[in-house]
A and B are shown apart, each in its own frame.
Chain A
Amino acid sequence: MKTFSSIYQLLATLSREQKLLSELFEKRKILSFSYDYALELVDFDADKISSLIDLSVVRQNGNNIELDDLFLQFFEQVMEVNEEINVSYINEHIESIRQNINYYLQENNEARKYGYLRQVKQALRKIGVIALRNVVDLSRNIDNTFKNEPNYKIKKTKLEHLDDKRNAIYTLINRTDHLVSGDEELTFFKVAADEELNRTIILVKLQLNECRHNLIDIQKQIIEYLNRIKHQSGVIEKLRQIKYLKDQFELRSKTNIRELLAENTAVIFEPNPSYPLQISLDQLQSDNDAADVISKVAKKIKTSVKSTQPLAGNISDEYLETRIEEEVQINLDEVKNSFLAGGNNLFDFICNYDFGKEVSFDECVTIYCQMISQFDTLFKITDNYNLKEDIEFAMVYPK
């Protein structure tokens, strides 16, 4: 296996293949990145890829190609997108600080002493940065897990796992704090304290403090998320059981749903109320709009059923047949004219008049009376009387 001989070579190689490497990095979540695609990205120069493989920048796995873990981790950490939270780094650094302090105290050579001191400072700075980054990663991962993990059980386990990580980070921060406060290595921090170390310690303490505050918030977040999941899955679990009982028709008998609902007085269970209020008569009479409304309503309630006029029955044909009945009427006017033209007295004239039919004596008397009552102005009624068939009558002449 070849290794890079200088940092220059490393940077040059990486920059030369930046297209391929950045593509590989972006697609790191996709399990298979085909060798053929990779070839296209390096202008079909297979040598370039094989040299990357030799330098173990990328790894070939069958027909697929992927970034080597070492570089992947490096990129992820530098770009702050790593998903794995590794607390062991801090632990290692704490150990190395302890060892270096030990060497420092035992070493007599000033120059080498200074070297150990430098390593201590370096490790301290790193601890601060790593702790801070871990906290950021943790919070991002928690958020991602809660929002994106579809499986409830896994989501819960993952969050619990992340909570453990949070605990671990918290413990490490406390240990580091303990260390830099000079409680353990009292001598070293008294003896070796120079300006730079003091500054570094203050910086680290500030960073750790920030981490602690963040962690408290993260803890709150995790608790809330876990509670929400618990509530959600609680609801689902409960629902499943209730639905089962309901489908078995046992829900009423085996649970307290009857009592529960009996106590429940929510309005939502009631049918929609209607409030049939009487209309104010005053308003109907005085309001102009009311007339429109009334005519509108009147139109609406017009029934579609047409009221039928009661019809009379057919007139029977019998009634329509023409029947002639003749009756001779005496035309008094005609009689008067004839009488006025003659000179006979009225009663005798009537008795002798040809009426066109048989006229009895009684009828003659009636006609006589009728004539006088109707036309008395045209007649001269004298005081002479005559007698005929036991009837005394006045003698009447035309004027």
Chain B
Amino acid sequence: MPVPKHTSDIFEILSKGQFICSNSCKDSTRKLYNIIDDNFDDLYDYFKSINLVLEKGDEYFMFTRMEHKTELERKLEAAFRWIDILDFFKTFDHSFGAGYRFTPSDVLVKLSVDVDLKNKLDGLKKYAAGKEKHAEILDKILDMLKKDSFIELENEITNSYKTLASFHYMERLIISVNIPESVQNEISK
């Protein structure tokens, strides 16, 4: 089966649970995105033979597995963490989403004028063990998002981050949670 020569690079990134996004700042990643886009069927078959499913999302690619491998608890933990983090950033700016650019200092400035945001950051403290300062907690959170390739450091000098298309995945996950109507009514009370 002919596969592009970048297949190993693609595997390297995706097998770590990261995404390949079309709006990445890195040239190499964008190139990989285009390569996957052009050879999707070949790569899909190729990875399928090693039990990995290449999935195409809204402007991103990712791997899923054929069988269940991870414990439910672990997934729940990750999902809960994302909910908290997503909630924090959506409070920071409603339009926070794929393609959004920001710097940590933007967030820190907003902290001083938005008590709600500050409380939510305090709530995130549990994910940044041992950190007390706001800037440190935020850095830790950003680091986590960076590792999961939801955001990327776009400019090292200005320390500005860019949200990647993989953010759609997080949003999709949230959207797909089904809340029964009776519970919804309860909440809106």
The 26 sampled A-B contact pairs (Cβ below 8 Å) are: A235-B174, A238-B175, A239-B174, A240-B87, A242-B174, A242-B179, A243-B84, A246-B83, A255-B180, A257-B79, A257-B177, A258-B76, A260-B176, A260-B178, A262-B68, A262-B75, A264-B173, A266-B64, A267-B52, A267-B62, A267-B63, A267-B64, A268-B19, A269-B78, A270-B69, A273-B16
Assess whether A268 is in contact with B178, with CB atoms less than 8 Å apart: no
Q: For residue A254, which residues in chain B have a CB less than 8 angstroms away from its CB? A: 179-180, 183
Query: Which chain B residues have a beta carbon within 8 Å of chain A's beta carbons?
Result: 14-19, 52-53, 55, 62-70, 72, 74-76, 78-80, 83-84, 86-87, 90, 94-95, 97, 148, 171, 173-180, 183-184, 187
Query: Which chain A residues have a beta carbon within 8 Å of chain B's beta carbons?
Result: 152, 232-236, 238-246, 250-252, 254-258, 260-262, 264-270, 272-273
Q: For residue B184, which residues in chain A have a CB less than 8 angstroms away from its CB? A: 241
Assess whether A242 is in contact with B16, with CB atoms less than 8 Å apart: no
Assess whether B179 is in contact with A255, with CB atoms less than 8 Å apart: yes
Q: Given A232-B94, A236-B90, A272-B16, do A267 and B65 touch, yes or no (CB 8 Å)?
A: yes
Q: Given A252-B76, A254-B180, A267-B64, do A232 and B95 touch, yes or no (CB 8 Å)?
A: yes
Q: For residue B68, which residues in chain A have a CB less than 8 angstroms away from its CB? A: 262, 265
Give, as a whole number of angstroms, the nearest-CB distance from A229 to chain B.
10
Q: Given A252-B76, A254-B180, do A239 and B70 touch, yes or no (CB 8 Å)?
A: no
Bound Cα distance from A244 to B186, whole angstroms: 11
Q: For residue A273, which residues in chain B have a CB less than 8 angstroms away from its CB? A: 15-16
Say which residue of B14, B95, B177 sits within 8 Å of A242 (CB atoms): B177
| List of 10 A-B pairs having minimum Cβ-Cβ separation, nearest first | A268-B17, A267-B63, A265-B65, A261-B75, A243-B87, A267-B17, A265-B64, A269-B70, A269-B75, A256-B178
Give, as a whole number of angstroms, the nearest-CB distance from A228 to chain B.
9
Bound Cα distance from A144 to B15, whole angstroms: 42
Residue of B nearest to A267 (CB): B63
Bound Cα distance from A246 to B76, whole angstroms: 11
Assess whether B63 is in contact with A245, with CB atoms less than 8 Å apart: no
Bound Cα distance from A273 to B14, whole angstroms: 11
Bound Cα distance from A76 to B99, whole angstroms: 35
Q: For residue B84, which residues in chain A have a CB less than 8 angstroms away from its CB? A: 243, 246
Assess whether A238 is in contact with B62, with CB atoms less than 8 Å apart: no
Q: For residue B94, which residues in chain A have a CB less than 8 angstroms away from its CB? A: 152, 232-233, 236
Q: For residue B97, which residues in chain A have a CB less than 8 angstroms away from its CB? A: 232, 235
Give, as a whole number of angstroms, the nearest-CB distance from B51 to chain A.
10
Q: How many cross-chain pairs have Cβ atoms below 8 Å apart between A and B? A: 115
Q: For residue B174, which residues in chain A have a CB less than 8 angstroms away from its CB? A: 235, 238-239, 242
Bound Cα distance from A233 to B175, whole angstroms: 11
Say which residue of B55, B64, B72, B78 sits within 8 Å of A262 (CB atoms): B72
- Kindly list 10 other residue pairs between chains A and B, CB separation below 8 angstroms, not including A266-B62, A273-B15: A239-B83, A241-B179, A242-B179, A254-B180, A256-B178, A262-B75, A268-B17, A268-B19, A268-B148, A269-B75
Residue of A nearest to B97 (CB): A232
Residue of B nearest to A257 (CB): B177
Identify the interface centre among B86, B178, B179: most chain A CB within 10 Å of its CB: B179
Q: For residue B76, which residues in chain A have a CB less than 8 angstroms away from its CB? A: 252, 257-258, 261
Bound Cα distance from A261 to B64, whole angstroms: 12
Q: For residue A239, which residues in chain B have a CB less than 8 angstroms away from its CB? A: 83, 86-87, 90, 174
Q: For residue B183, which residues in chain A have a CB less than 8 angstroms away from its CB? A: 245, 250, 254-255
Bound Cα distance from A264 to B177, whole angstroms: 12
Give, as a whole number of angstroms, the nearest-CB distance from A231 to chain B.
8
Assess whether B17 is in contact with A272, with CB atoms less than 8 Å apart: yes
Give, as a whole number of angstroms, the nearest-CB distance from B184 to chain A.
7
Residue of A nearest to B183 (CB): A254
Give, as a whole number of angstroms, the nearest-CB distance from B76 to chain A.
6
Residue of A nearest to B19 (CB): A268
Assess whether B179 is in contact with A267, with CB atoms less than 8 Å apart: no
Give, as a whole number of angstroms, the nearest-CB distance from A329 to chain B.
84
Say which residue of B15, B66, B173, B177 sits within 8 Å of A265 (CB atoms): B66
Assess whether A261 is in contact with B175, with CB atoms less than 8 Å apart: no
Assess whether A234 is in contact with B66, with CB atoms less than 8 Å apart: no
Give, as a whole number of angstroms, the nearest-CB distance from B149 to chain A.
9
Give, as a whole number of angstroms, the nearest-CB distance from B59 to chain A.
14
Give, as a whole number of angstroms, the nearest-CB distance from B180 to chain A.
7
Give, as a whole number of angstroms, the nearest-CB distance from A111 to chain B.
63
Q: For residue A272, which residues in chain B have a CB less than 8 angstroms away from its CB? A: 16-17
Bound Cα distance from A262 to B70, whole angstroms: 9
Give, as a whole number of angstroms, the nearest-CB distance from B54 to chain A.
10
Identify the interface centre among A232, A244, A265: most chain B CB within 10 Å of its CB: A265
Give, as a whole number of angstroms, the nearest-CB distance from A243 to chain B.
5
Residue of A nearest to B188 (CB): A241
Bound Cα distance from A268 to B65, whole angstroms: 10
Assess whether A267 is in contact with B148, with CB atoms less than 8 Å apart: no
